[in-house]
Structure 1
Amino acid sequence: MEATQPSGTTKRRVELRITRPVLTWFARPTVTIDGVGHPAQWGIGTWAVPDDGGTVIGVYLYNRVWRFGAAERSVADQSVLEYRAGPLPFTAGRLRSSG
């Protein structure tokens, strides 16, 4: 198992724009980076990702009852991604490159 690196050693960052849907059902977004979940907020944020190789970034919504609107994408060089949830809670979201 690899030792964790000290904070500030990652040089690559990805900007993620999480757009709030019309009906959220009190949901909060969660961002996953290579399968590890991190709580997030609506709006624009930046996330540190490993410098080497493709990283899988995912977003889903969670409202204490169920998970919905999941979307994921492998990023190799994109620096700006935009997430939009599906119109209904049982549909998938979209995570696309913007800009």
Structure 2
Amino acid sequence: MLRKLLKHEFRATGRIMLPVIGILLATSVAANLSLRYLLGSNAWFFSMLGILLLTAFGFAIFGVFIVSFILMIQRFYKNLLQDEGYVMLTLPVSIHQHI
């Protein structure tokens, strides 16, 4: 039963988190390449491009944190208080005791 529940959770969160993590992976590769090649160059354009890629990587890390936090709250709310959580509400306790 736990395997089935986890399968549905991974499917529900994977639809959103896999593209977000893919964007993070792409920006991390770009930031790595900018650290290795672009920031050491003497050209103004290439050093500015390297700084922009590193900044984009920082924003991507922050974005993954925010998206995962919002998704975690949304999944908790759906699993407890909406149609997916109908079994939880059959227990003879209040909502505050569930949490």
Please, what TM-score do these two structures have when normalized by structure 2? 0.22
User: Greater CA radius of gyration, 1 or 2?
Assistant: 2
Higher RCO, 1 or 2 (CA under 8 Å, sep at least 6)?
Answer: 1
Greater helix fraction, Structure 1 or Structure 2: 2
Normalised by the size of structure 1, how large is the TM-score?
0.22
